[in-house]
Amino acid sequence: MLYRGNGGLDIVGRGKTWYAVFGAVLVICILSMVIRGFNFGIDFEGGTSVQMPANGANGVIQTGQVQDAYTQTLGFPATSVQSAGQGATATIIIRSESLDIGQVLALRQALFTQFQPIGTSGAPDVNAISDSAVSASWGGEITQQALVALAVFLVLVTIYLSFYFERRMAFAALIALANDIIITAGVYSLVGFEVSPATVIGLLTILGFSLYDTVVVFDKVRENTRGLLGLTRRTYAEAANLAVNQTLMRSLNTSLIAALPLIGLFIIGVVLLGVGVLGDLALVQLVGTIVGAASSVLLATPIVVDLAMRDKRWIAQAEKVRARRAKAARKAAGSAEAAEAAGDVTGPSTDVLDTREVAAAGAGRGESRTAAPRPGARPAGKTGRPSGKRRK
């Protein structure tokens, strides 16, 4: 049924339910962003990054051991300690607040003394531990450029939708996009993943996907409602709901196909390799894909219908549809009553009588049901020879 587009799911009719669900999720995400905030990486806040091989003279170096060594050396914990890669190329990445030269040298010496990381020569080497400083101004530059890119994207989207569709569809698409941005950012705040430049790139990517899904649904809504003002077959809400049902499987299949490689990227990047950048990119795209598909189907179209039903033309058309259906219902009810009344007056038909009634009537009159003799036939029980005479 869903593949043929006639599943009959009342998605638009339950618009208030979807509003309540998305509203509750938005409240949770906004509260998390206000109270918990975000875990910004050093690319945005500035700091020091220290990297060393994960293989030491005493075996594989664990991130917990590195965190303990960092705290013992400097007196405060590192912002994050992550492992990246596998096997001989595995590394440990330490990210912390800005450290001066003395702190960096003390940390490098402590890490080398305790873990003896193996260098490219195959022997422990202090030079295998590298460090780099990131300026907070560079992170601010990235943030500013990302916001400018987002603003330009939204302006171009508004212009395109206003010309290609209708203003109410452009408004509904922007509401759905804002919903996707807030929920995706809220999930990052709740989970506590580090916000990096890869996160910003992934966010801009999923906005394009969400917009594509919304345009597909709106295009079908426009097709179903073209010329509908002069007809009384269905209302605007019913035509829009039909469009959602007709594009539902396409939206689900597209989202599923897009989500599968993202799930694989997330598992490989976080669980297997432990690469923070891949995990950040996969999480933002995975959450954005799911939320974008849901908002395109469950949020954008009900908003369009609610905005359309503020138009007097569509209100009058809906009244005509209801009036026609009420008239048809009264006519059908009147025909049924007339047929029932006619059946009470004429009574049962006597054209065909039950054979049992015929037999009973014949038995009551003493009639025999034996077939009549043929002309010239001898009576039953006669031999056919003349009585009293013998053949010689």
**CB 13, CB 300: distance < 8 Å:** no
Distance between CA 207 and CA 178 in Å, rounded?
A: 9
pTM tops 0.75: no
For position 279, what pLDDT does the model report? 66
HSE value, Cβ hemisphere, 13 Å, CA-based, for 180: 36
Residues 22 and 129 in one domain: no
Distance, in Å, from the CA atom of 235 to the CA atom of 323, rounded to the nearest integer, reads 12
- At 125, is the secondary structure helix, strand, or coil? coil
User: What are the residues whose beta carbons fall under 8 Å from the beta carbon of 65, sequence distance 6 or more?
Assistant: 114, 115
**Whether the Cβ atoms of residue 371 and residue 377 lie closer than 8 Å to each other:** no
Q: pLDDT tens digits, the chain, 392 residues: what are they?
A: 444 445 578 999 999 999 999 999 999 999 999 998 887 777 777 788 898 988 888 888 888 889 899 999 998 888 878 777 667 778 888 888 888 889 999 999 999 999 988 888 888 888 888 888 877 666 677 777 877 877 888 788 878 877 888 888 888 988 998 999 899 889 888 887 777 777 877 787 787 778 888 888 999 999 999 888 888 889 999 999 999 998 888 888 888 888 888 887 777 766 665 555 566 677 788 888 889 889 988 999 999 999 999 999 999 999 999 999 898 888 888 887 777 777 654 444 444 434 444 344 444 434 444 444 444 445 444 444 444 444 43
In angstroms, what CA-CA distances link 152 with 38, 149, 178, 208, 288? 24, 5, 14, 13, 19
Q: What is the CATH number of the domain that holds 98?
A: 3.30.70.3170
CA dist., res. 231 & res. 362, Å (int): 65
Q: Which range marks the domain in which residue 250 is found?
A: 12-40+137-318
- Identify the CA nearest to 295 among candidates 187, 176, 171: 176
Q: Say if 346 falls within a structural domain.
A: no
Q: β-strands 39-40, 194-195: how paired?
A: parallel
Q: What is the pLDDT of residue 179?
A: 92
Taking alpha carbons only, the member of 102, 113, 103, 5 closest to residue 56 is 113
In a domain, 250, yes or no: yes
Separation of alpha carbons 347 and 257, rounded Å? 66
65 and 179 inside one domain: no
The verdict on 107 and 154 lying in the same domain is no
Task: Indicate whether 351 belongs to any domain.
Answer: no
Query: Does residue 31 sit in the same domain as residue 173?
Result: yes
Measured CA to CA, the distance from residue 378 to residue 382 in angstroms comes to: 7
Q: Are residues 54 and 192 in the same domain?
A: no
Query: CB burial class (10 A; 0-12, 13-18, 19+) of residue 85?
Result: middle
Question: 127 and 188 in one domain?
Answer: no
Q: CA-CA distance, 3 to 250, in Å (whole number)?
A: 8
Whether residue 202 is contained in a domain is answered as: yes
Least Cα distance to 87 among 48, 126, 60 occurs for 60
Is residue 337 situated within a structural domain?
no
d(C-alpha 361, C-alpha 381), whole Å: 29
Domain final residue pick, 272, 293, 318: 318
Question: Buried (b) or exposed (e) across 324-338, using 16+ Cβ within 10 A?
Answer: eeeeeeeeeeeeeee
Q: Are residues 24 and 157 in the same domain?
A: yes
Q: Do residues 72 and 177 both lie within one domain?
A: no
101 is a domain residue: yes
Helical H segments across 116-235, by residue range: 136-164, 167-191, 197-225
C-alpha span between 380 and 307 (Å, rounded): 96
168 and 23 fall within a common domain: yes
Burial track 132-154 (b if 16+ CB lie within 10 A, e otherwise): eebeeeebeeebeebeeebeeeb
Q: Which of 267, 293, 318 is the last residue of a domain?
A: 318
Contact indicator for 53, 126 with CB cutoff of 8 Å:
no
CATH code where residue 143 lies: 1.20.1640.10
Task: Indicate whether 84 and 188 sit together in one domain.
Answer: no
CA distance 97 to 91: 20
The pLDDT score that the predictor gives to residue 89 is: 76
Number of structural domains found in the chain: 2
On whether residue 34 sits in a domain, the answer given is yes
- Do 151 and 275 belong to one domain? yes
| Residue where a domain terminates, one of 299, 318, 337 | 318
Q: Determine which helix (DSSP H) or strand (DSSP E) holds 32, and give its type and residue range.
A: helix 15-35
What is the pLDDT, as a whole number, of residue 276?
56
CA distance 390 to 167: 121
331 lies in some domain = no
**59, 167: one domain:** no
User: SS in 3 state form for 238-287?
Assistant: HHHHHHHHHHHHHHHHHHHHHHHHHHHHHHHHHHHCCCHHHHHHHHHHHH
